[in-house]
Chain A
């Protein structure tokens, strides 16, 4: 079926089986490789994207549901030349190790900051439940707090 949506601000129409997980459309059809496949079971969060501003795990989201939606991936998180506060904070705190899970975490964090501009440690613990095997959680927490600071200072 034909599915039309906006991704990172650009209109796209694709031809695909509507049940194909959106993840594979993003990765293999649109060639945006920043959104990762970790488990395909909505368990690890590596494939987290935004659909109309909300965090969604794209491995468990059928492409047909994307019809008419605004989709943002890690490639579109920054507007123009300036880095998104989350990415800026991630760089300041030198968060990534292997880096594979990081786009998912950054997308989840960006969604969190839209809802809770100054998340407490508890908010972070409750809302950010992606999996990182390298164990960068400690730096991520610092980066999330830092991202909130940057974001609030920008307003």
Chain B
């Protein structure tokens, strides 16, 4: 066995840079800002297949084989409930040729060097790592085999690998035994990947790898993290929109029991104390002077979020929709609205930080490990390499943890006292400082033509920002892209057999932070478009399912969309109209190339909408773990139902309210459908997005069913009967 193995001849994948962020980066080289360009960019961003922006060539950054024959998989993607750890373990196990129970998945700290350049979000973890991780695992397997050959003094070609054991030549070595004897690894060429059909773990409903710990209450979330000799911090937070910190009277706080130090910075004031309650109490004793701006009210916000105001950007255009709708008779118009939504994830944001000289360590629930690191480094003037971000399990992500200023604040407090400091939002602060789902206003216009099909259709959406203002998105993207890709996600017309269609996104900058909320604009945009489609079907005297099928184009995306529509309708036993006080409602959407259709079964009892059953058909291309695809569909359906039926933040006297569960109404056990039937189609050869697409159709499907029972067309979320 030659010692001088070629360092690397890695099979290069062609990355088509098509994601929103990729577009921003791409355009850094200076393209002209022309509407046509923008539209094609918009089309590309809409079908975002984000590349993985981290290491894909160094198996040793990803895998560690212990002497006990365990394989540790260092995941640069975080686990926030979406099941990514399980999917990654499955993907790795098959190519590594080990039992999945031998793989332990942990978060990769930034110090490990295995850093994702982007984030965990956009339902891209499995799809973007599908190819790279299989290659990395196969390479790792090959590398272990080569080392075994060296130890056994035989040729690698004579060896076979099975379940973590290399054998041949009458000898056997476990991966653990091999790893023990290796001083320096040589990375071989990537071997050919196995046939997908031969996989033992991929494609199977493997139980979650984090199941036992989560059921035992043993998983460590950011909020559970601790460091030796740790103190507790609290930071005074503005309660009103736009308030800027001016000064603080800390004289009382300084004398409070347990207080170690009051920390004044140019932009915030905080305290460090011995216990959480002492820190909270002391923080409450600080008298802060805020520069409060305008006394905002909900009416002000509603006034701003109106189609026709703000900056319009045409994001989709085919034929002459505008001309037809502007000039012809019998144009049908309807308006829809959605409210400000809170993330309301159960674990509040915070961090545990320890700044020691020129080094910092932060344990935190974050979706943007890399950005969190950079922000801490910048604030404290440290080298990025000297800041180690250790991600912990996320008590819900949903886009909320794409902003992590808490890390930086905990680090500042730690530096001030020279000890580790744990600093978390309380629930009220969590609501007040949320980065909300923006409110939206939609105007849809359409004209029916021959055969009761749509001749022209137009969707106008006005929304607060989603991706702009996020540290993930280069400021440079803004003037080039124009429209906010996140805000109009799901806002395009997906029935492209219609000869004339058009979509326009109106951008509004709101006075409070709006940002990524699971599925971004998909929920609201689909609510509007799919409710409108239902209204048009009724106008045309057509069955709403057939009405949709008739207007889908003949291409791959069209085929996959039609298939999920047919599958959902068939599985649910679709029938139009109300029967015995119950009615079905239908809606479909395509998000990040994953089409999804819902049939809901609804009744109205004591004036309340009840959703009894949801049949969901989804085509994620290929399901790495069908049970977790199912779980994501169930979760999206219930979270979407909650947002569509109950949730709403209001603005009152400059404050976002409510700030507590209960008054912020959300779906409880009793509101969840008692039956959820998920049909998984696999009409592509690689896994696509799962964690967000099923959120799309739920609001419209419910509203469409409610209309059939009550005759009331509910055009505003949360859905409320008159």
- The reply to whether B631 and A139 contact each other, CB–CB distance below 8 Å, is yes
Q: In the assembled complex, how far is the CB of residue A96 from the closest CB belonging to chain B, in whole angstroms?
A: 4
Q: Mark A62-77, 1 if CB is under 8 A from B, else 0.
A: 0000000000011100
- The reply to whether A94 and B627 contact each other, CB–CB distance below 8 Å, is yes
Task: Tell me, yes or no, whether B331 is within 8 Å of chain A by CB.
Answer: no
Among A20, A46, A134, the residue within 8 A (CB) of B639 is A134
Q: In the complex where A43-B662, A75-B216 touch, is A133 in contact with B344 (Cβ < 8 A)?
A: yes
Among B81, B276, B639, B666, the residue within 8 A (CB) of A99 is B81
- Residues in B whose Cβ lies below 8 Å from that of A134: 81, 396, 635, 639
Q: In the assembled complex, how far is the CB of residue B240 from the closest CB belonging to chain A, in whole angstroms?
A: 21
- Residues in B whose Cβ lies below 8 Å from that of A31: 226
- The reply to whether B218 and A34 contact each other, CB–CB distance below 8 Å, is yes
Among A94, A125, A132, the residue within 8 A (CB) of B208 is A94
- Residues in B whose Cβ lies below 8 Å from that of A131: 346, 661, 666, 668
- Residues in B whose Cβ lies below 8 Å from that of A102: 214-215, 217
- The reply to whether B427 and A38 contact each other, CB–CB distance below 8 Å, is yes
- The reply to whether A137 and B216 contact each other, CB–CB distance below 8 Å, is no
List residues of B (324-361) whose CB comes within 8 Å of A's CBs.
343-348
Task: Tell me, yes or no, whether B667 is within 8 Å of chain A by CB.
Answer: yes
A106 to B216 CA separation, bound complex (whole angstroms): 10
- The reply to whether A97 and B224 contact each other, CB–CB distance below 8 Å, is no
| Residue in chain A with minimal CB distance to B219 | A99
Q: Mark B666-682, 1 if CB is under 8 A from A, else 0.
A: 11111111101000000
- Residues in B whose Cβ lies below 8 Å from that of A101: 346, 395
Main secondary structure of the interface of B (DSSP, over half): loop
- The reply to whether B82 and A97 contact each other, CB–CB distance below 8 Å, is yes
A142 to B100 CA separation, bound complex (whole angstroms): 26
- The reply to whether B217 and A34 contact each other, CB–CB distance below 8 Å, is yes
- The reply to whether A43 and B660 contact each other, CB–CB distance below 8 Å, is yes
Task: Tell me, yes or no, whether B80 is within 8 Å of chain A by CB.
Answer: yes
A106 to B215 CA separation, bound complex (whole angstroms): 8
Q: Mark A31-46, 1 if CB is under 8 A from B, else 0.
A: 1011111111101101
Task: Tell me, yes or no, whether A9 is within 8 Å of chain B by CB.
Answer: no
- The reply to whether B394 and A35 contact each other, CB–CB distance below 8 Å, is no
Task: Tell me, yes or no, whether B94 is within 8 Å of chain A by CB.
Answer: no
Among B214, B221, B661, the residue within 8 A (CB) of A39 is B661
List residues of B (177-193) whose CB comes within 8 Å of A's CBs.
none
- The reply to whether B347 and A38 contact each other, CB–CB distance below 8 Å, is yes
- Residues in A whose Cβ lies below 8 Å from that of B218: 34, 75
Task: Tell me, yes or no, whether B426 is within 8 Å of chain A by CB.
Answer: yes
- The reply to whether B673 and A138 contact each other, CB–CB distance below 8 Å, is yes
| Residue in chain B with minimal CB distance to A27 | B224
Task: Tell me, yes or no, whether A28 is within 8 Å of chain B by CB.
Answer: yes
Among A24, A34, A99, the residue within 8 A (CB) of B210 is A99
Q: In the complex where A133-B345, A138-B634 touch, is A24 in contact with B275 (Cβ < 8 A)?
A: yes
- Residues in A whose Cβ lies below 8 Å from that of B346: 36, 38, 44, 46, 98, 100-101, 131-133
Q: In the complex where A101-B346, A141-B669, A141-B674 touch, is A91 in contact with B215 (Cβ < 8 A)?
A: yes
Task: Tell me, yes or no, whether B140 is within 8 Å of chain A by CB.
Answer: no
Q: In the complex where A121-B674, A129-B669 touch, is A87 in contact with B276 (Cβ < 8 A)?
A: no
A103 to B674 CA separation, bound complex (whole angstroms): 22
Task: Tell me, yes or no, whether B411 is within 8 Å of chain A by CB.
Answer: no
Task: Tell me, yes or no, whether A53 is within 8 Å of chain B by CB.
Answer: no
- The reply to whether B393 and A99 contact each other, CB–CB distance below 8 Å, is yes
Q: Which of B83, B224, B637 has the most CB of A within 10 A?
A: B224
Task: Tell me, yes or no, whether B586 is within 8 Å of chain A by CB.
Answer: no
- Residues in A whose Cβ lies below 8 Å from that of B277: 17, 20-21, 24
Among A41, A97, A103, A141, the residue within 8 A (CB) of B672 is A141
List residues of A (80-103) whose CB comes within 8 Å of B's CBs.
83, 87, 90-91, 94-103
- Residues in A whose Cβ lies below 8 Å from that of B673: 138
Task: Tell me, yes or no, whether B53 is within 8 Å of chain A by CB.
Answer: no
- The reply to whether B395 and A90 contact each other, CB–CB distance below 8 Å, is no
Q: In the assembled complex, how far is the CB of residue A23 from the closest CB belonging to chain B, in whole angstroms?
A: 10
- Residues in B whose Cβ lies below 8 Å from that of A37: 223, 348, 424
- The reply to whether B672 and A135 contact each other, CB–CB distance below 8 Å, is yes
- Residues in B whose Cβ lies below 8 Å from that of A90: 215
- Residues in A whose Cβ lies below 8 Å from that of B216: 34, 74-75, 78, 87
Task: Tell me, yes or no, whether B220 is within 8 Å of chain A by CB.
Answer: yes
Task: Tell me, yes or no, whether B212 is within 8 Å of chain A by CB.
Answer: yes
- Residues in B whose Cβ lies below 8 Å from that of A43: 427, 660-662
Among B83, B215, B347, B426, the residue within 8 A (CB) of A97 is B83
Q: Which of A17, A21, A39 has the most CB of B within 10 A?
A: A39
Task: Tell me, yes or no, whether A113 is within 8 Å of chain B by CB.
Answer: no
- The reply to whether B427 and A40 contact each other, CB–CB distance below 8 Å, is yes
Task: Tell me, yes or no, whether B642 is within 8 Å of chain A by CB.
Answer: yes
A24 to B397 CA separation, bound complex (whole angstroms): 24
- The reply to whether B214 and A99 contact each other, CB–CB distance below 8 Å, is yes
Among A83, A106, A133, the residue within 8 A (CB) of B398 is A133
Task: Tell me, yes or no, whether B538 is within 8 Å of chain A by CB.
Answer: no
A27 to B226 CA separation, bound complex (whole angstroms): 11
- Residues in B whose Cβ lies below 8 Å from that of A98: 80-81, 345-347, 393-397
- Residues in A whose Cβ lies below 8 Å from that of B276: 24, 28
| Residue in chain A with minimal CB distance to B278 | A17
Task: Tell me, yes or no, whether A148 is within 8 Å of chain B by CB.
Answer: no
Q: In the complex where A44-B346, A137-B669 touch, is A87 in contact with B660 (Cβ < 8 A)?
A: no
List residues of A (93-148) whose CB comes within 8 Å of B's CBs.
94-103, 106, 121, 124-126, 128-141
A141 to B676 CA separation, bound complex (whole angstroms): 12
Q: Which of B83, B211, B220 has the most CB of A within 10 A?
A: B211
- Residues in B whose Cβ lies below 8 Å from that of A75: 216-218
- Residues in A whose Cβ lies below 8 Å from that of B220: 33
- Residues in A whose Cβ lies below 8 Å from that of B660: 39, 41, 43
Task: Tell me, yes or no, whether B207 is within 8 Å of chain A by CB.
Answer: yes
A100 to B81 CA separation, bound complex (whole angstroms): 9
A150 to B207 CA separation, bound complex (whole angstroms): 20
Q: Mark B502-539, 1 if CB is under 8 A from A, else 0.
A: 00000000000000000000000000000000000000
| Residue in chain A with minimal CB distance to B274 | A28
A41 to B218 CA separation, bound complex (whole angstroms): 24
| Residue in chain B with minimal CB distance to A99 | B214
- The reply to whether A138 and B638 contact each other, CB–CB distance below 8 Å, is yes
- Residues in A whose Cβ lies below 8 Å from that of B714: none
- The reply to whether B207 and A91 contact each other, CB–CB distance below 8 Å, is yes
Q: In the assembled complex, how far is the CB of residue A62 from the closest CB belonging to chain B, in whole angstroms?
A: 11
A-B contact pairs, 27 of them (CB 8 A): A20-B275, A24-B275, A34-B218, A39-B660, A39-B661, A43-B427, A83-B215, A91-B211, A91-B215, A94-B208, A96-B81, A98-B347, A98-B393, A99-B81, A100-B393, A100-B395, A101-B346, A102-B217, A106-B215, A134-B396, A135-B634, A135-B639, A138-B672, A138-B673, A138-B674, A139-B634, A141-B674
New A-B contacts (14) at CB < 8 Å, excluding given A37-B424, A136-B634: A35-B217, A46-B346, A78-B216, A91-B215, A98-B346, A99-B219, A99-B395, A135-B639, A135-B642, A137-B669, A138-B634, A138-B672, A141-B672, A141-B674
